[in-house]
Structure 1
Amino acid sequence: MTTTKDAAQDFLAHHRVAVTGVSHAPKGHGSNAVYTFLRDHGYEVFAVNPTVEQVEGDPAYPNLQSVPGGVEAVVIATAPERAQQTMEEAADCGVRTVWMHRSIGGGSVSPEAAAWGRAHGMTVIDGGCPLMFHPEGDRGHRMMCRLFTWTGKVPRSV
């Protein structure tokens, strides 16, 4: 087993990251917060949303396969029912590192999709948020990380 902290550091070492579920109406969407934070911190980040052509002033892509040049890591920030399909797309694209976003509530975590990814050799962080582990993450995210780790919403290991 790998600690979530170590898996998060590995995830954040990738610089071409897709974020699924980025909304054209960003208010209150965790996916948009992750997308803009990574973009603003030097990552080459790609919004994946099949229903729009643009989000946050950037092009959106209908799926992982359509991202030019591919990606190294994926944040799943859609309904958990869509996580399996995204996990399979990521595997087909050669992605080995996936983060299922979760803050308050169930988030995007699908235990079945996480198990599938692990069975196919992927590192799957099934809870929390990249902003909780990024060295430049805000104080609120660091506090949520401690609380959610304590309550089990952020796993201690993956």
Structure 2
Amino acid sequence: MPVESDEELREILELETIVVVGCSATPGKAAHGVPKFMRDHGYEIIPVNPYADEIFGKVPYDSLSEVDEDVDIVDVFRPSEEVSDIADEAIERDDADVVWTQQGIRDREAGERVEAAGKQYVEDRCLKVEYQRLMT
């Protein structure tokens, strides 16, 4: 089952490094505003977007599997039908302990694979909303 309890969500939100798959370079889009908010609140944001040249002063990675840095949370800002492949990339990583899909993004089967690999899965929740609700 995806993470539901506030206690577990708080623990996740105490982690520091978030790789954002589908991070947008376009202000006004949620895929830009949410990571910017998290960055402004002390999180390390690692953008993944094969079409952008720069996001938050960084060159984004083309895919999750190319990310060199250690990451805690894989935040998914891609359509639900892309979650499965992203989840598989996250499962392959030793460092990513959490796969988090933003509001409206769901893939129960991918979530079950993430959990079977010993990682946490948060589905259909906004990082910013949960941060504001639980951490402020």
User: What residue in structure 1 maps to residue 15 of structure 2?
Assistant: 14
Note if 1:133 corresponds to 2:110. no
User: What residue in structure 1 maps to residue 44 of structure 2?
Assistant: 44
Number of residue pairs matched by the alignment: 131
Distance in 1 (alpha carbons) for counterparts of 2:115 and 2:47: 24
More contact order relative to length (CA 8 Å, sep ≥ 6): 2
Note if 1:111 corresponds to 2:108. yes
Distance in 2 (alpha carbons) for counterparts of 1:53 and 1:112: 33
Query: How big is the alpha-carbon RMSD for the aligned residues of Structure 1 and Structure 2?
Result: 1.8
1:93-138 per-residue CA deviation (whole Å, 9 max, x = no partner) reads 1212111101xxxx2211221122122222101121111221xx2x
Q: 3-state DSSP class of the match of 2:47?
A: strand
* Equivalent runs, 1:1-158 vs 2, <5 Å: 3-27=4-28, 29-94=29-94, 95-102=96-103, 107-134=104-131, 137=132, 142=133
Q: Which has the larger radius of gyration?
A: 1
Shift of 1:43: 0.9
Point out where structure 1 has 5 or more consecutive residues left out of the alignment: 143-158
Distance in 1 (alpha carbons) for counterparts of 2:31 and 2:9: 17
Aligned residues with identical type, % of pairs? 27
- Taking structure 2 as the reference length, the TM-score comes to 0.85
